[in-house]
Structure 1
């Protein structure tokens, strides 16, 4: 079993445990069984590097989420914008899921839709820019 397959199984187990909220021995056995029985695709070294980059981004996103939450509480964010960032080419479904999770994890952004054409539709909350007065 290569590292990418290991990361895929860990991702599946994490999702299972988050959905069930149960760490009993029976649920762990069911979760491991489901994670191993779900179909897998061939992986490459590039996919492993992508996984490691995404895992690093997850670690960075945790303090960023707290910082954004404090910013929203202290200063008003009245401007709403729809942005459409592109998906990196050759992303596996697991990495696309983690990208969506990362975008949605922070309080200022949420993914509204994933388009098969290779981009996300993201709703962002921003601070409104002060307009300069002309005299």
Structure 2
């Protein structure tokens, strides 16, 4: 479900009321914890947190016109999606997250390579996601991206 919204505010405005509250809280959590150097934007029809071209002119290797993606959040049809490229590329960060997750949420972690899916909006571990957002600086993400993802 890609949105045609051009700003984060517009994206949130078009969501159903129950989703507005959750996405707004996720957005606030990310913005409160994300290290300097990242920028909020619309990316792939979702809220995106990226390394802007002003900091990383090469952009994303799949489409260099796009800034380097780091985190995206989206209201999908059957879940809230939290996409974190650092987890995808850093086994230590992934291990930390999967170890911490059961301390915050009962039930099985529903996760793909970089997507964490929350089907129950009452079981989103905002504090844990905030800590996850804080664990990698833009400089560390660029270094990781260039050494692992961009080949």
- Fold equivalence (TM over 0.5): no
Larger Rg: 1
TM range (shorter): under 0.3
* TM-score between both structures, scaled by the size of structure 1: 0.25
